[in-house]
Amino acid sequence: MVRREDADAVRRGRPWSLPLEDRVLLVATYWRTNLTLRQLAPLFGISKSAANRIINQLGPILALQPRKRFCKDAVLIVDGTLVPTRDHTVAEQSKNYRYSTNHQVVIDADTRLIVVVGRPLPGNRADCKAWEESGAKAAVGNTTTIADGGYPGTGLVMPHRRRKGEELSAWKEADNKSHKQVRARVEHAFARMKSWKILRDCRLKGDGVYHAMRGIARLHNLTLAG
């Protein structure tokens, strides 16, 4: 897939010291283990600067592209997750008391594949704001989307809220239970993505965390698709 996207095209200048397969493996290893470049480079017999160039070149190519079309009866699920990031120019202290970025992730409720990853925003940004500002809302369009109670005023399908001093009716309780069971699928996706250790403490600067998040989303989809 990466080769079809012209990642191995012959260009002017010094050729890569590793074949494309090893370069892809290097990037995946970096995302999975979160080793420093000083630790990672000797495993592939290259210099630290060469490893850094490979990650910067292949990271955006491996990144998941947002789906542009959805079936009429498609149901999506959105939620935000925090990724601790050392680049404080793109992060802010959040509820986990660490400098983090907020990533809005949308999955298909049926296939459980990730279809959209919004641009990262500072970790102190509320999900209802991040939903629109990250570009996730524009990517989804009018497709039916489920969310938790942190998205008021967005038009998303949220659970029924209980007012003070009142009890929910039986049908609303049953509706909330069904909503919670379906929405849990996005939490399962986060759990699988966070097994990639770079999402626990990202040292990449600028758009690096965005490319890593989308790249891991693509690898997650390839794993589910078999």
* Residue spans per domain, the chain: 1-62, 75-225
For residue 165, the model assigns a pLDDT of: 76
Classified as helix, coil or strand, 83 is strand
pLDDT greater than 70 at residue 10: no
Categorize the per-residue pLDDT at 113 as very low, low, confident or very high, splitting at 50, 70 and 90.
very high
Q: Where are the alpha helices (DSSP H) in 1-145?
A: 20-33, 37-40, 48-62, 127-133, 136-140
pLDDT band at 74 (very low <50, low <70, confident <90, very high): very high
Distance CA 32, CA 194 (A): 9
| pLDDT in the model for residue 110 | 94
92, 100 Cβ separation under 8 angstroms? yes
Look at phi and psi of residue 45 and say left if phi exceeds 0, alpha if psi is from -120 to 50, else beta: left
According to the CATH classification, is domain 75-225 in 3.30.300?
A: no
Q: Which of 13, 4, 31, 59 is nearest to 193 (CA)?
A: 31
- For 34, 156, 178, 186, the CA distances from 145, given in Å and listed in that order, are 33, 6, 15, 12
Q: Residue 126 is which amino acid? A: A
Is the pLDDT score of 163 beyond 90? no
- Torsion, CA 135, CA 1, CA 69, CA 190, rounded to 10: -50
Round to whole Å and give the CA distance between 75 and 162.
25
Mean pLDDT of the chain: 92
Secondary structure string (H, E, C) spanning 178-197: HHHHHHHHHHHHHHHHCCCH
* Backbone torsions φ then ψ of 19, nearest 5 degrees: -65, 165
Q: pLDDT > 70: what percent of the chain?
A: 97
**Residue 102 pLDDT level (bands cut at 50, 70, 90):** very high
Reported as a pLDDT band with limits 50, 70 and 90, residue 5 is confident
Residue-wise pLDDT tens digits, 196-217: 999 999 999 999 999 999 999 9
pTM: 0.90
